[in-house]
Chain A
Amino acid sequence: MMDAWLSKIVAACKGIGLNYDFLLAADERAAFLHGLLVTLQLSLACIVLSLLAGFLLATLLVSQRRWLAFGARVFVELTRNTPTLVQLYCAFLVLNMLITQALSSSVGNPLTPFIWVVLVISLHKGAFHAESLRAGIEAVPAVTLEAAASLGFSRRRQLWLVQLPLALRFALPSLINNLVDLVKMTSVASAIAVGDVTYQSIMIWTQRDNVLELMLLMLFFFGVLTYAVNLAGRWLEQNLRMPGYGR
């Protein structure tokens, strides 16, 4: 049933000059579908971890301890102003190599390329989230903080119960923007041979020379993913909305 439909679609595409034959070969189709799954996993893992990293970095950025704030600032500026691919190479080709050397050969290095990509992208986008959240924290009116202080909130409770919840709402549009960027960024995983959709597509088009067809599929897939992130963002914006703030 499925196969009949698929071959019909492939034949129809051939009619307009697009060669989707690889969808009919079971192994290549499986590889491509697995690539889609890996990209989804990458995106989800990075979204969760980058938000965690972002919150942590934001609290460090506004910390009263000068050295903590300074360290976080250096990290954020360094991360924001260097290419992700170079960071990925510094992590995977340099740090990973050093770790492999340090561990004895019997133990083996437990860090896979997938984990490195998740770490690098999460920290990279975490720095962007942190910057947005910091701006949000600074946008919280002083009066609100004074009110919290007069109710006996400690600095830490002010941060977690007053500033961060408000900052999240102020920063939400730019956080969603960052997450859309993050989903697009997962395609660099192909550079260190993580089997994401970009990597699988490269494997297929070197065999079949059907670059344009695969491009269209990938653009469609990433379009759907970024649309989903945007939808989720809009839903969050509506649900987190507080009267008196924003539109």
Chain B
Amino acid sequence: MADSAYTDAVPLLPQSALVLRQGRTWLLLLLLAVLLGLLLRSGILQLPLLKDLLTWSPALLLGMLANIQISVLAIAIGTLAGLFIGVLQLSSVRLVRLAARGYVQLFRNAPMLILIYFSTYVFPFELHISSHYVSFPDWIKVTLGLALPASANVAEIFRGAMLSIPAPQWEAASSLAFRRTQLLRWIILPQCLRRMLPSWMNLYSTITMGTALASLVGVHDLLDTAQIASTTVNRVDFTVAIYFTTLLLFFIYCYPISRFTHYLERKYAFI
């Protein structure tokens, strides 16, 4: 009797835990609904607030798009430049190696905000190419300002990945009569890229969060839009709502990236 009770209890346990967990989720949703209802009833969360948020949401999303645009362009430029500098860091010429290391040290240790100010104020506001004046908008300057630390970090990530490839891999490949280009293309780089991916995505996330600094030099981004909205509507509840919405929008964009990075880290951890 005691025996059967024991055997029954074992398979039942996970199931009951599952039921409990599902029940808890429903309870949580119910609680949230009740809370929302109470907030609406008590007048803290009013319908005009939701209406205002809805009115401003296209502007917010456009601002967010500017952030995404800057971050994607900055990481693209940064990756290309960073890989180039990363290769220079491994060069056999001592002077080249030193220069590359200096670049990486300088731009990894500089605050992002200062680099953004640097690119905004030091670069000219228009370029003079032969007889044409081409304007050099602020958002591109910010992009370049973010590409500087991005390139230095990519170079460092690349160097780390190259050094993490065990020496026998090189030796084995050359003993199989691979040429140097073949060796790099088919044996070293695929392993390198796999190792670089999680850190690279982490860097992208950092750069994306850095784009919020663009609002400080007058680029019309999400945070700037939020500030304009808050001063235009000029109501306490709206100010609270708009800044936390901004926070939430960044979170919605960055959190999946961070989860995916975590997944990749786990997947490649033992390779």
Which A residues are within 8 Å of any B CB, using their own CB?
Answer: 77-78, 80-87, 89-90, 93-94, 97-98, 101, 180, 184-188, 190-191, 198, 202, 205, 211-212, 215, 218-219, 222-223, 226-227
A83 / chain B contacts, CB cutoff of 8 Å:
209-213, 223, 250
Whether B114 and A218, one on each chain, are in contact in the complex, defined by CB atoms closer than 8 angstroms, is: yes
A-B pairs with beta carbons under 8 Å apart, 19 shown:
A77-B255, A77-B258, A82-B247, A86-B243, A86-B250, A89-B246, A93-B239, A94-B244, A97-B236, A97-B239, A98-B240, A180-B109, A184-B112, A187-B111, A191-B216, A198-B117, A211-B122, A219-B114, A223-B106
- Assess whether B118 is interfacial by the CB under 8 Å rule: yes
B183 / chain A contacts, CB cutoff of 8 Å:
none
Whether B209 and A219, one on each chain, are in contact in the complex, defined by CB atoms closer than 8 angstroms, is: no
A78 / chain B contacts, CB cutoff of 8 Å:
247, 251
- Scoring A82, A83, A191, A226 by chain B CB atoms within 10 A of each residue's CB, the highest score goes to A83
Residue of A nearest to B149 (CB): A184
Residue of A nearest to B24 (CB): A66
C-alpha spacing A226/B258, complex, angstroms? 26
- Sort A-B residue pairs by CB-CB distance and give the 9 closest, nearest first: A83-B212, A83-B209, A184-B111, A81-B254, A211-B121, A187-B111, A187-B113, A85-B212, A81-B255
In the complex, the number of residue pairs spanning A and B with C-beta atoms less than 8 Å apart equals 101
Residue of A nearest to B116 (CB): A187
C-alpha spacing A51/B159, complex, angstroms? 30
Whether B216 and A211, one on each chain, are in contact in the complex, defined by CB atoms closer than 8 angstroms, is: no
Asked if A94 meets B113 with Cβ closer than 8 Å, knowing A205-B121, A211-B121, A215-B122, the reply is no
Whether A94 and B111, one on each chain, are in contact in the complex, defined by CB atoms closer than 8 angstroms, is: no
B258 / chain A contacts, CB cutoff of 8 Å:
77, 80-81
Task: Report B143 CB to chain A, min CB distance, Å.
Answer: 16
Whether B113 and A190, one on each chain, are in contact in the complex, defined by CB atoms closer than 8 angstroms, is: yes
A77 / chain B contacts, CB cutoff of 8 Å:
255, 258
B32 / chain A contacts, CB cutoff of 8 Å:
none
Q: How does the 8 Å CB contact mask read for B104-134 relative to A, with 1 for contact and 0 for none?
A: 0010011111100110011000000000000
Q: Which of B110, B121, B212 contacts A222 (CB 8 A)?
A: B110
Whether B109 and A223, one on each chain, are in contact in the complex, defined by CB atoms closer than 8 angstroms, is: yes
C-alpha spacing A86/B112, complex, angstroms? 15
Asked if A90 meets B209 with Cβ closer than 8 Å, knowing A219-B110, A223-B109, the reply is no
Task: Report A196 CB to chain B, min CB distance, Å.
Answer: 11
Q: How does the 8 Å CB contact mask read for B181-224 relative to A, with 1 for contact and 0 for none?
A: 00000000000000000000000010001111101100000010
Contacts A85-B212, A218-B114 known; list 17 others, CB within 8 Å: A80-B258, A81-B205, A81-B209, A82-B247, A83-B211, A83-B212, A84-B209, A85-B216, A86-B223, A94-B240, A94-B244, A188-B213, A198-B117, A202-B117, A211-B121, A219-B110, A222-B110
A211 / chain B contacts, CB cutoff of 8 Å:
117-118, 121-122
Task: Report A193 CB to chain B, min CB distance, Å.
Answer: 12
C-alpha spacing A85/B236, complex, angstroms? 20
Whether A87 and B247, one on each chain, are in contact in the complex, defined by CB atoms closer than 8 angstroms, is: yes
Task: Report B225 CB to chain A, min CB distance, Å.
Answer: 12
Q: Which of A81, A180, A202 contacts B250 (CB 8 A)?
A: A81
B121 / chain A contacts, CB cutoff of 8 Å:
205, 211
Whether A222 and B109, one on each chain, are in contact in the complex, defined by CB atoms closer than 8 angstroms, is: yes
C-alpha spacing A61/B109, complex, angstroms? 30
Task: Report B17 CB to chain A, min CB distance, Å.
Answer: 12
C-alpha spacing A65/B244, complex, angstroms? 28
Whether A85 and B114, one on each chain, are in contact in the complex, defined by CB atoms closer than 8 angstroms, is: no
C-alpha spacing A197/B244, complex, angstroms? 29
Task: Report B32 CB to chain A, min CB distance, Å.
Answer: 14
Q: Which of B109, B223, B240 contacts A85 (CB 8 A)?
A: B223
Task: Report A16 CB to chain B, min CB distance, Å.
Answer: 16
Task: Report B223 CB to chain A, min CB distance, Å.
Answer: 6
Interface residues in B219-271 (C-beta closer than 8 Å to A): 223, 226-227, 230, 236, 239-240, 243-244, 246-247, 250-251, 254-255, 258
Residue of B nearest to A191 (CB): B216
Task: Report B242 CB to chain A, min CB distance, Å.
Answer: 9
